[in-house]
Amino acid sequence: MINFLIRNTCKLLLGLRYRVELRGVDEIARRGRTGILFLPNHPALIDPVIVMAHLQGPFAPGALADRDQVDRFAVRWVTRRLGVRTIPDIRKYGIGVRPQVEAAIRTAIDDLKRGANLILYPSGHAYRSRFEDLRGNSAVETILREAPEVRVALVRTRGLWGSTFSYAHGVPNVARSLKRAVGCLLANLLFFTPRRRVTIELHEPSDLPRTAGRNEINRYLETFYNQDAPPNTYVPYTIWEGGGPVEQPEPETVSLAGSARDVPLATRQIVRDYLRERTGAESPRDEDQLAHDLGLDSLARADLVVWLGKEFGYGGADVDDLRTVGDVMLAARGEMVVTRPTALKPVPGRWFRRRSHTRVSTPPGETITEVFLTQARRGPGRPAIADQLSGVKTYRSAVLGIMALRPAIEGLEGQHVGIMLPASVGAVVTYLACLFAGKTPVMVNWTTGTRNILHALDSLGVRRVLTAGPLVARIESQGTDLSAVKDRLIPLEDVARGLSRGAKLAALARSRLSWASLRTARVPQTAVVLLTSGSETQPKAVPLTHANLLANLRDVLSVVTIREDDCLIGFLPPFHSFGLTVTVLLPTLAGARTVYHANPTEASMLCQIIAAYKTSVLLGTPTFLAGIVRASRAGQLASLRLAVTGAEKCPERTYAAIADRCPNAVILEGYGISECSPIVAANDETEPRPYTIGKVLPSFESAIVDVDTWQRVSPGRTGLLLVRGPCVFDGYLGEGVESPFVEFDGRQWYRTGDLVSADEDGVLTFRGRLKRFVKIGGEMISLPAVEAALEPHYAGDTDEGPVIAVEATPRETQPELVLFTAMPSLDRQTVNRQIRDAGLSPLHNVSRVIHLESIPVLGTGKTDYRALKQLLADAAPGQTPPMK
Per residue, the 3-state secondary structure of 634-676, as one string, reads CCCCCCCCEEEECCCCCCHHHHHHHHHHCCCCEEEEEEECHHH
Do 489 and 330 contact (CB within 8 A), yes or no? Answer: no
Cα–Cα nearest to 369, from 549, 568, 122: 549
**Domain closes at, from 247, 282, 307:** 247
Query: Does 150 fall in a domain?
Result: yes
CATH of the domain at 586: 3.40.50.12780
What DSSP designation does 154 have?
Answer: E
Q: Residue 770: is its pLDDT beyond 80?
A: no
Backbone angles phi, psi at 579, to 5 degrees: -65, -45
Between these two residues, 651 and 542, which has the higher pLDDT value?
A: 542
Same domain for 327 and 356: no
Same domain for 291 and 239: no
Euclidean distance between CA atoms 544 and 125, whole angstroms: 48
Between these two residues, 194 and 837, which has the higher pLDDT value?
A: 194
Euclidean distance between CA atoms 537 and 433, whole angstroms: 32
User: What residues make up the domain containing 411?
Assistant: 349-682
Do 410 and 438 contact (CB within 8 A), yes or no? Answer: yes
Q: Residue 801: is its pLDDT beyond 90?
A: no
Query: Does 724 fall in a domain?
Result: no
Same domain for 409 and 505: yes
Average pLDDT over residues 81-92: 78
Q: pLDDT tens digits for 443-487? A: 999 888 788 889 889 999 999 999 999 899 888 877 678 888 999
Number of domains the chain contains: 4
Same domain for 428 and 308: no
Which residues on neighbouring strands pair with residue 543, listed in sequence order?
A: 529
Same domain for 597 and 567: yes
* 878: confidence class by pLDDT, cuts 50, 70, 90: very low
Backbone angles phi, psi at 24, to 5 degrees: 85, 5
User: In this structure, are strands 18-23 and 196-203 parallel, antiparallel, or unpaired?
Assistant: parallel
* 880: confidence class by pLDDT, cuts 50, 70, 90: very low
Q: Is 652 exposed, middle or buried (0-12, 13-18, 19+ CB in 10 A)?
A: exposed
Helix (H, G, I), strand (E, B) or coil at 710: coil
Same domain for 149 and 270: no
CA 342 to chain centre: 13
Cα–Cα nearest to 867, from 824, 805, 777: 805
Do 636 and 646 contact (CB within 8 A), yes or no? Answer: no
Same domain for 161 and 241: yes
Average pLDDT over residues 747-764: 93
Average pLDDT over residues 765-776: 80
**Domain closes at, from 649, 682, 715:** 682
Helix (H, G, I), strand (E, B) or coil at 554: helix
pLDDT value of position 798: 58
Q: What amino acid occupies position 687?
A: E
Residues in the chain: 884
Average pLDDT over residues 54-79: 82
Backbone angles phi, psi at 357, to 5 degrees: -90, 10
Q: pLDDT tens digits for 253-292? A: 655 556 777 788 888 888 888 888 888 888 888 888 887 7
Same domain for 648 and 543: yes
Euclidean distance between CA atoms 741 and 534, whole angstroms: 15
Which residues on neighbouring strands pair with residue 151, listed in sequence order?
A: 36
Do 340 and 543 contact (CB within 8 A), yes or no? Answer: no
CATH of the domain at 280: 1.10.1200.10
* C-alpha torsion sign, points 879, 880, 882, 884: negative
pLDDT value of position 73: 67
H/E element holding 548? helix 546-559
Q: pLDDT tens digits for 625-651? A: 888 888 888 889 999 999 999 877 788
pLDDT value of position 535: 47
Nearest 5 degrees, angle CA 751-CA 757-CA 758?
A: 110
Q: Over pLDDT 70: what percentage of the chain?
A: 94
Do 17 and 181 contact (CB within 8 A), yes or no? Answer: yes
Q: pLDDT tens digits for 334-359? A: 776 666 667 788 899 999 988 888 99
pLDDT value of position 797: 58
Helix (H, G, I), strand (E, B) or coil at 226: helix
Query: Does 761 fall in a domain?
Result: no
Question: In whole angstroms, how far apart are CA 62 and each of 7, 144, 221, 569?
Answer: 13, 18, 21, 44
* 884: confidence class by pLDDT, cuts 50, 70, 90: very low
Q: Over pLDDT 90: what percentage of the chain?
A: 46
Query: Does 729 fall in a domain?
Result: no
CATH of the domain at 814: 3.30.300.30
What DSSP designation does 313 have?
Answer: S
Query: Does 738 fall in a domain?
Result: no
Q: pLDDT tens digits for 576-613? A: 998 999 999 999 999 999 999 998 888 889 999 999 99
Between these two residues, 500 and 523, which has the higher pLDDT value?
A: 523
Query: Does 272 fall in a domain?
Result: yes
Same domain for 140 and 50: yes
pLDDT value of position 340: 64
- What is the model's pTM? 0.77
Euclidean distance between CA atoms 51 and 62, whole angstroms: 12
Euclidean distance between CA atoms 788 and 1, whole angstroms: 72
Do 683 and 670 contact (CB within 8 A), yes or no? Answer: yes
pLDDT value of position 883: 42
What DSSP designation does 68 have?
Answer: H
Q: pLDDT tens digits for 284-322? A: 888 888 877 787 877 777 778 878 877 887 766 666 677
What DSSP designation does 821 have?
Answer: E
CA 39 to chain centre: 34
H/E element holding 153? strand 151-158
DSSP assignment of 427-468: HHHHHHHHHHTTPEEEE--GGG-HHHHHHHHHHHT---EEE-
Q: Residue 54: is its pLDDT beyond 50?
A: yes
pLDDT value of position 466: 97
**Domain closes at, from 188, 216, 247:** 247
Average pLDDT over residues 841-862: 82
* C-alpha torsion sign, points 578, 583, 585, 586: positive
pLDDT value of position 877: 46
Between these two residues, 381 and 870, which has the higher pLDDT value?
A: 381
Query: Does 138 fall in a domain?
Result: yes
* 142: confidence class by pLDDT, cuts 50, 70, 90: very high
Average pLDDT over residues 153-181: 87
Q: Residue 876: is its pLDDT beyond 50?
A: no
Which residues on neighbouring strands pair with residue 489, listed in sequence order?
A: 465
CATH of the domain at 97: 3.40.1130
Same domain for 327 and 382: no
Q: 18-22, 92-96, 103-107, 493-497: which has the minimum mean pLDDT?
A: 92-96
Q: 143-147, 486-490, 531-535, 841-845: which has the minimum mean pLDDT?
A: 531-535
Query: Does 436 fall in a domain?
Result: yes
Average pLDDT over residues 30-37: 92
Euclidean distance between CA atoms 285 and 305, whole angstroms: 19
Q: Residue 187: is its pLDDT beyond 90?
A: no
Same domain for 658 and 523: yes
Same domain for 383 and 327: no
Between these two residues, 555 and 133, which has the higher pLDDT value?
A: 555
* 42: confidence class by pLDDT, cuts 50, 70, 90: very high
Q: 37-46, 173-182, 684-693, 759-768: which has the minimum mean pLDDT?
A: 173-182
Mean residue pLDDT of the chain comes to 87
